[in-house]
Amino acid sequence: MSLYSFGLEPLSCHAWNKDRTQIAVSPNSNDVHIYQKKGKEWTKIHELTEHSGRITGIDWAPESNRIVTCAADRNAYVWTLKDGVWKPTLVLVRINRAATCVKWSPLENKFALGSGAKLISVCYFEKENDWWLSKHIKKPINSTVLSLDWHPNNVLLAAGSADLHCRVTQLTTGHLPLLSVLYVSETEIVAAGHDCCPYQFSYKGPGSLEFVKKVDIPKQSSKGNMSAMQHFRNLDKKATTEEEETGLGSLHQNSITQLCILEGPKAKVEKFSSVGLDGAMVVWDFKRSNRSQASDPGRREGRRSLGIGMETGEGADGPGGPGLCCASFNQDSTSLAVGTKTGYRLFSVTSVDKLDCIHESTETPDVYIVERLFSSSLVVVVSQSMPRRMNVYHFKKGTEICNYSYSNNILAVRLNRQRLVVCLEESIYIHNIKDMKLLKTLLNTPSNPSGLCALSINHSNSFLAYPGSDTIGEIIVYDANNLSTVTMIPAHDSPLAAITFSASGTKLASASERGTVIRVFSIPEGLRLFEFRRGMKRYVNISSLSFSPDAQFLCASSNTETVHIFKLEQHSPSGEEEAPSWSAYVGKMFTAASSYLPAQVSGMMSQDRAFATVRLQMAGYSEDGGAKKGEVIPEHEFAAGPVCLDDETEFPPVSIR
C-alpha cells in the first residue's frame, strides 16, 4: 500500500484517468485539483474552478477523457481538455436540491446524477443544440440518492438512497457506519467509512455476508528519545514539549469518504484507492495482499495433521480438540509450540514419548506462528485474523508485553537471546529483544514468499541468513549484532528451499528447490566445507535441515518417506599405504579420471552420500519413484503424552516498559 498527502484539507471525492497517471481530487471545496505523478511525487497541473458550491462527485471517462463534476450548487459540468486547458460545459440537470453523486455510463455517451431532489438525472449530449440535457427518473425513489452505478450493458442503473426506512439485518459488524462500498470480485466487497480503514467482506450465499479482515492493520508506534527538532515542533505547534501520541493506528487519520477502482476489472480488482477527510489518498494493493495471505504458513491445509493428544481433521476441528495450524520447537528443542484454531499450546519435550502441556491460551484464534524464546516466559504469536501484527506475551503472567504491526503479512519470526527477527515477503525487521526496539529494517529484499530465513541461536555471534535472489540460490549472511552484511554465498544454481545454522553459529547448511545437493559452509567466511547428495531424483522438496548439538551430523527431511543423516567429517590423508583391494582400486581410478570429466560429473563423484538413512513406515513417495513436482505429500502424526518442565533452568523473561 502507498500513502500520499495532498495537503491538510479533507478529500471528499476523487477519480483517475485511463492510465492512472493523473488523479482528480476535491479538497472538500468548490474546486477540483488534478495531479500528475512524477516519480514518487504528485504535482498539481490543473485546477477546475467553476462550481460555487462544495463538489460532491467526480468521474473521469477513460476513453473520451472527459470529466464530469457535480456539486451542492445544483449544477453539473462536463470538462473537456482542449489545447492543454480544461473547458467546462454546463449541464441542464433541472434539480432544486444539491447534487450528491455522478457516474459515467460504460459507453460514455451519458451519465447519471443523483441528488437530494428524490430523483436521478440521466444526462445525454444533444448534437443539434450542442449542449447536455437530462431526463428524470423519479419513481420509486423517496429520498436523497446517495450512490449510483451502471450495468455493463449501458442500460440498467443501480441506485441507493436514504428512503426514510429502517431496515433490520442480521449482519453485526461492530464497526462505525460505512460510507463507500466497492466490489473487488464476484464474491468479495470492500467497505470503508468512519472507522478510517477499509474492511473486506465475503458473500457466502443469500442472507450471508461474512467479515474477512481489515485491509489496513493498525501500526505500532515505538517511543524513543525526542529529538531537538521534534522538541521544537511540539513547542511551536502544540505549545508543549512533551511527545504525545494523538494519531490513529491506521493510514487514514479521519473518515474515508470514497473508494475507487485503480487497476483490474470489477470482477477481479487488483488495486483500489481511497480518499478521506484527513486529506490523504491511499493506494491499496489488493492482489498482493491476497497473494501474501495465501502464502502464509498458517493457511496451508497440511499443517493440521500433527497429533498431540488431539483429534485431527482436514481443515476442521476434530471431536477431541481444535484443528492445528502450525508447530515449532524452541531454540534448544526443549519445548514445542503449537498453534491451533482456538489459540496456542506449549508442551515440554524433555522426553520423546511424553508431552506435557505447560500452557494453553485461547485469547488469540487461528494462530499460524508461535515462537517461544528458549525456556523463558516470552512467546511471540501471529494470527490469521491479523497477519500483519506480532504480539509478544509473558505467558506465565498472562500479559501482553508489546505488539508491532508491519506493512505486509508476517511470514516468519526468529528469536535468540539478543535479537528478534520478523520476515516479510520483501523486507526484514530486526528488534532488540531486551526492549523490543526496532534496530534495523532491511527493505527491498528479494521476493521471499515462503519467509525463508535463519537466525543463529548463539547470541555472541548472532548471524541472520536469508535469500539474496529469487532466481538462484544466493545466501546473504547478516551480522544481527553489529547490523552489517557479512558475506554473500553463491550456494546453489536454483532458488533456496531450506537453510539452517549450527548451534554455535559457525556452520550454515543449505538446500535448493531441486532437492538433490546439500551444502555446508563456514561462517562468517562463507567457505564450502561439505557437499552431500541426498539422491538422484529432482523436485523433492527438502522441508527442513537440522544440525546435531555438536554439529557433527546434519539431518535432512523431505516430502518422501526417508530422512537422511550426513556425517560432517574431513577425510584427512593417511601416511600409511592403503591395503590393496578392489574398492581401493576403483576409488583411485575414479579419482584419476575425475580431472578429465566435465565439472558437473566430477563434482557429482566427489559428493558424499548419507551416513545413515531412516525410512519411515508411512505413506509417501520412495526414492525409486521420486516425488513429482507440485504434488502434495501426506503429512504424519507424532506420539502424544505428558512430561514436566524444569523451571530452574528457565531463561529469565525480558522486562519491557
Same domain (yes/no): 224, 182: yes
Same domain (yes/no): 288, 202: yes
Same domain (yes/no): 262, 349: no
pLDDT value, residue 438: 92
- Poorest-pLDDT segment among 66-70, 224-228, 439-443: 224-228
pLDDT value, residue 319: 34
pLDDT in tens, 500-535: 999 999 999 999 988 788 999 999 999 999 998 876
pLDDT value, residue 40: 79
138 part of a folded domain: yes
Indicate whether 380 pLDDT > 80. Answer: yes
Of 134, 149, 165, the last residue of a domain is: 165
Indicate whether 630 pLDDT > 50. Answer: no
pLDDT in tens, 202-221: 877 776 778 888 887 655 44
pLDDT in tens, 128-154: 877 899 999 887 788 888 888 888 888
pLDDT in tens, 105-124: 999 999 999 999 989 999 99
Indicate whether 643 pLDDT > 80. Answer: no
Where in the sequence is the domain holding 224, given as residue range(s)? 166-294
Same domain (yes/no): 253, 189: yes
Same domain (yes/no): 236, 318: no
552 part of a folded domain: no
The answer to whether the Cα torsion of 7, 13, 16, 20 is positive or negative is positive
Per-residue pLDDT band at 127 (split at 50, 70, 90): confident
Residues above pLDDT 70, as percent of the chain: 73
Same domain (yes/no): 327, 214: no
398 part of a folded domain: yes
Hey, what's the cell of 367? 494462530
- The answer to whether the CB of 216 falls within 8 A of the CB of 408 is no
Number of domains forming the structure of the chain: 3
637 part of a folded domain: no
Q: Rounded to whole angstroms, how far apart are CA atoms 138 and 118?
A: 7
643 Cβ partners below 8 Å, 6+ apart? 347, 348, 349, 350, 351, 354, 355, 356
- The answer to whether the CB of 98 falls within 8 A of the CB of 74 is yes
pLDDT value, residue 419: 94
Phi, psi (deg, nearest 5) at residue 593: -80, -20
β-pair partners for 148? 159
The answer to whether the Cα torsion of 96, 102, 105, 109 is positive or negative is positive
Indicate whether 171 pLDDT > 60. Answer: no
- Poorest-pLDDT segment among 230-244, 336-350, 612-626: 612-626
Same domain (yes/no): 287, 301: no
Per-residue pLDDT band at 85 (split at 50, 70, 90): very high
Same domain (yes/no): 203, 289: yes
Of 165, 190, 205, the last residue of a domain is: 165
Same domain (yes/no): 290, 171: yes
Mean pLDDT of 185-203: 85
Mean pLDDT of 78-97: 92
DSSP summary character for residue 596: T
β-pair partners for 139? none
Most confident of 62-66, 187-191, 292-296: 62-66
Same domain (yes/no): 323, 208: no
Residues 282-307 as b or e (16 or more Cβ within 10 Å = b):
bbbbbebbbebbebbbbeeeebbbbb
516 part of a folded domain: no
pLDDT value, residue 128: 81
pLDDT in tens, 411-460: 999 999 999 999 999 999 999 998 899 999 998 899 999 999 999 998 88
96 part of a folded domain: yes
Q: What is the CATH number of the domain that holds 125?
A: 2.130.10.10
643 part of a folded domain: no
370 part of a folded domain: yes
Indicate whether 363 pLDDT > 80. Answer: yes
Same domain (yes/no): 265, 319: no
pLDDT in tens, 251-274: 888 889 888 888 888 778 888 889
pLDDT value, residue 15: 92
Same domain (yes/no): 262, 308: no
Average pLDDT, the chain: 78
Of 113, 132, 165, the last residue of a domain is: 165
